[in-house]
Structure 1
Amino acid sequence: MKLYYSPGACSLSPHIALYEAGLPFEAVLASTRSHKLLDGTDYYTINPKGYVPLLEFDDGTRLAEGPAIVQWIADQVPEKKLAPPAGTMARYRLQEWLTFIGTEIHKQFSPLFNPEMPEEAKPLFRRKVLDRLAYVDQHLAGHDYLLGDFTVADSYLYTVTRWSTPLKLDISGLVNLNAFMARMSARPAVQQALKADGLRG
């Protein structure tokens, strides 16, 4: 099994989930800038969407989109309780959070990474991101993790919240979110994924 990733990108989320799950895999660097692998292979021939993450199974089957990938990972090791059982309300809560993070946080961050985005438009997206993160901060009051106990949704939230630092987004006032980030950074699987990605905790 191969995980196609790019350091600092949203592929960090399934990278963490794979270490949490203890599943064997090979990490394959796929540059989101050049869209080439280290051996020169055109990444578009592997994933026509051109972005990471992508999980490739030993039979050649491929699965894209982070929220789908992390749920697949969790379902391989139900005893680890990385996701609630399918069909339960708790599982739908997990999907609710994965969707919210993907559409309301991740996608609000994206324009801020785009060098072609006009500077005058960026404050709008910064405000939107901060509003969404403030909502998460309120939810985390009295909770260690989004669903109470750790799930794969937390690896996704951790991944996108990390982007606040390079984008100089001040989240210092979000006390509960910062406590969550510290809690996540202390997890061995997170430290392992960061090291593998060449990132700092």
Structure 2
Amino acid sequence: MKLYYGRGTCSLAPHIALRETGAAFDLVLVDIRAKLTEAGADFRAINPNGYVPVLELDSGERLTETVVILRYIADQYPAANLAPPAGTMARYRLLEWLTFISSEVHKNYSPLFNPAVPEEFKAMTREKIGVRLGYVEQRLAGKQYLMGDAFSVADAYLFICLNWSKAIQVDLAAFANLQGFQARVAARPATQAALQAEKPIRKA
């Protein structure tokens, strides 16, 4: 398998998930602005939408969209326990979280990275994010992770969104549960390995 990723993007979530499984995979860095892979290939030939992540399977087929890739990883490596069994109520709760993070958290963070977005709109967006994070804060009360004591692919997804907060002035100071959650996920060996692998190589 190959995971096409960009530093500081949502592709970190499937990267963490893959490392949780112990599966063998290759990383291919993508310059999102230039739409080029690190080898200089046109990334739009790989994903016409021009964004990461993309998971290329050994068959040559490619999957796009973070939620789909996370579900694929969890399903293909059930021993990693990254998702409850299909058909159970717990599985539907996981799907609730993945959908919520994608539509209500991730998509609200995105405009804050755009320098062309007016500050007034950004202020309103941060307020909306605060409401959404407040909901997650309440749901995390007394829990290690979103699903309870078991780490899941939804946790990897939420973690990467929270990691963007400082850079775009989303204040997490009022959310003790979220801060504790972020620290726990950051401390996991798979997360540490993924973050280390995505660090820029310093030139002498």
- Give the TM-score, by structure 1 length: 0.96
Q: Which residue of 2 aligns with 1:15?
A: 15
Alignment map for 1:23-172 (pairs within 5 Å) = 23-148=23-148, 149-172=150-173
Give structure 2 stretches of 5+ with no counterpart.
Answer: none
- Give the partner amino acid of 2:47: N
Q: Secondary structure at the match of 1:103?
A: helix
Distance of 2:102 and 2:32 partners within structure 1: 18
Q: CA deviation at 1:129?
A: 1.0
Which secondary structure state, in structure 2, belongs to the residue aligned with residue 166 of structure 1? Answer: helix
CA distance in 2, matches of 1:33, 1:126: 25
Secondary structure of residue in 2 paired with 1:30: strand
Q: Percent identity?
A: 55
Q: Structure 1 stretches of 5 or more lacking a match?
A: none
- CA shift for structure 1 position 173: 1.3
Cα distance in 2 for partners of 1:21, 1:72 equals 12
2:5 maps to which residue? 5
Equivalent-residue separation in structure 2 for 1:168 and 1:196 (angstroms): 26
Distance (Å, rounded) in 2 between the aligned partners of 1:8 and 1:59: 28
| CA displacement at 1:168 relative to structure 2 | 1.9
* Structure 1 residues 46-79: Cα deviation after superposition (integer angstroms, max 9, x where no partner): 0011110010012210001111111111112212
Q: 1:88: how far off?
A: 1.0
> Post-superposition, which runs of at least 4 consecutive aligned residues in structure 1 deviate over 6 A?
none
State how far apart, in whole Å, the 1-side matches of 2:39 and 2:145 are. 39
- CA shift at 1:80, angstroms? 1.8
Whole-angstrom CA distance in 1 between matches of 2:86 and 2:138: 27
TM-score by length of 2: 0.95
Letter in 2 for 1:185: A
The 1-side partners of 2:38 and 2:79 are apart by 36
Amino acid at match of 2:161: V
- 2:191 corresponding residue in structure 1: 190
TM-align CA RMSD: 1.0
Hey, what's the Cα distance between the residues in 2 that align with 1:49 and 1:150?
A: 30
Q: Distance in 2 between matches of 1:165 and 1:194?
A: 17
Secondary structure of 2:31 counterpart: coil
